[in-house]
């Protein structure tokens, strides 16, 4: 057992400082923080924090509980709505894509990171900044639930010099591409909140993915809401007409207060797909299901069986909200009645454009512009 420190050391030090004839000065140094990829986004976040602080100082009694953590969401022409999270110590801010169809948060944090056919909003700025974040705390070899195994020897040989197999690799396949890497534990920060030992994926190679990484808001244990114990969250996505326009933004808030009916807002809870949750590794268990009761076209209800709108006994079917999908997709037995109802409502007013339908694959397409 190491010897205990002398008991009189602290009182002696305090007495020495109190009896000194000259004041004691301590220098404070600010740790440099890497530059934000877009200074205007950083200014928007600072303005939001300053406004919140001013509100708390002006009306302290109105805020008996901590305020919700909020951040602006800016649409970009390369697709998606990113917002800032910090990782590491000292914290380094990264712009990651909000995606509720993923249960994993991952960032491209390896000097050997390779990405094929990946969209980029700022060249290699994020990649070079992120490459300084090296893995520090590998997870034990216990792949998280629902993740297919990945050939670890390939990762060892090409990207890491590992003395043991004490890591958890992952491989994720999205609708538009894929990514693979290793799970690590890091300190994650958002607004004024800090979460140590946050499970984050350090991707080593990707295909057709955003350059900065993804924040997983899906429904599973590794997702960000599950890891930090969120009771609720909301996000507002503005129109893509504001792509790359920093004068307008949506927002995301973690643990906001319950909505007030006087605000004119309505909400619906996410549903549990009980069959998907009961089967380990079920591919649909990470999605956010909503209870769709009916579909109306022109104010008239379309005749669709209710059973077609809810998950079946084996987990198939149902309605999910996917922030990474541009168009609304329906199964044929739901889409065909909706298509027929829409065509019936516009008959005699607009003509269908078969050429546009063949070109885009979207139907029905109609001509709404007057002839030249």
- Among the ranges 21-30, 154-163, 333-342, which has the highest mean pLDDT value? 333-342
The domain of 299 spans 265-367
Whether residue 187 is found in the same domain as residue 277:
no
Whether residue 199 is found in the same domain as residue 342:
no
What percent of the chain lies above the pLDDT cut of 90? Answer: 10
pTM of the model: 0.67
CA dist 328 and 323 (Å) reads 11
253-294 pLDDT per residue, tens: 888 877 655 566 677 888 877 775 555 456 677 888 988 889
Q: What are the percentages of helix, strand and coil residues in the chain, rounded to 5?
A: 25, 25, 50
For residue 130, what pLDDT is reported?
A: 44
Note whether 40 and 76 are within 8 A (CB).
Answer: no
How many domains does one find in the chain? 2
Whether residue 332 is found in the same domain as residue 243:
no
Residue 339 pLDDT exceeds 90: yes
Whether residue 362 is found in the same domain as residue 270:
yes
Q: What is the CATH number of the domain that holds 227?
A: 2.40.70.10
Quick check: is 10 in a domain? no
Tell me which of 254, 286, 321 is where a domain ends: 254
Q: Which DSSP helix (H) or strand (E) runs through 251? A: strand 250-254
Whether residue 193 is found in the same domain as residue 278:
no
Quick check: is 34 in a domain? no
For residue 263, what pLDDT is reported?
A: 61
**Arithmetic mean of pLDDT, 323-338:** 88
CA dist 119 and 366 (Å) reads 32
CA dist 172 and 194 (Å) reads 26
Whether residue 116 is found in the same domain as residue 188:
yes
Residue 185 pLDDT exceeds 50: yes
For residue 334, what pLDDT is reported?
A: 93
When mean pLDDT is compared across 32-36, 268-272, 356-360, the lowest value belongs to 32-36
Tell me which of 254, 285, 307 is where a domain ends: 254
Whether residue 285 is found in the same domain as residue 232:
no
Whether residue 275 is found in the same domain as residue 210:
no
């Amino acid at each position: 057992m190491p010897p205990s420190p002398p008991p009189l050391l602290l009182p002696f030090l305090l007495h020495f400082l109190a009896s000194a004839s000259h004041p004691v000065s301590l220098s404070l140094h600010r740790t440099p923080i890497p530059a934000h990829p877009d200074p205007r986004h950083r200014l928007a976040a600072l303005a939001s924090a300053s406004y919140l602080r001013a509100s708390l100082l002006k009306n302290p009694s109105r805020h008996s509980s901590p305020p919700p953590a909020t951040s602006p969401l800016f649409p970009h022409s390369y697709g998606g709505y990113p917002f800032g999270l910090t990782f590491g110590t000292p914290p380094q801010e990264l712009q990651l894509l909000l995606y509720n169809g993923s249960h994993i948060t991952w960032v491209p944090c390896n000097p050997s990171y390779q990405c094929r056919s990946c969209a980029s909003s700022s060249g290699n700025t994020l990649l070079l900044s992120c490459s300084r974040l090296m893995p520090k705390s590998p997870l034990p070899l216990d792949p998280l639930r629902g993740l297919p195994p990945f050939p670890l020897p390939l990762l060892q040989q090409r990207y890491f010099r590992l003395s043991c197999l004490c890591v958890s690799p992952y491989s994720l396949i999205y609708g538009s591409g894929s990514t693979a890497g290793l799970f690590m534990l890091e300190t994650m920060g958002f607004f004024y909140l800090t979460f140590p030992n946050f499970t984050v994926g350090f991707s080593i190679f990707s295909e057709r993915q955003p350059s900065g990484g993804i924040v997983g808001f899906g429904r599973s244990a590794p997702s960000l809401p599950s890891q930090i114990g969120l009771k609720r969250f909301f996000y507002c996505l503005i129109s893509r007409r504001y792509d790359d326009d920093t004068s307008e933004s949506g927002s995301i808030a973690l643990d906001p207060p319950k909505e007030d009916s006087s605000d004119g807002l309505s909400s619906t809870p996410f549903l549990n797909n009980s069959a998907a949750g009961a089967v380990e590794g079920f591919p649909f268990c990470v999605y956010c299901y909503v209870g769709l009761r009916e579909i109306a076209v022109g104010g008239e209800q379309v005749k669709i069986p209710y059973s077609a709108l809810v998950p079946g006994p084996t987990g198939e079917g149902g309605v999910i909200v996917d922030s990474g999908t541009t168009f609304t997709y329906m199964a044929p037995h739901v889409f065909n009645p909706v298509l027929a109802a829409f065509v019936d409502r516009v008959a005699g007013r607009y003509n269908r454009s078969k050429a546009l339908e063949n070109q885009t694959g979207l139907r029905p397409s109609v001509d709404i512009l007057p002839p030249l």
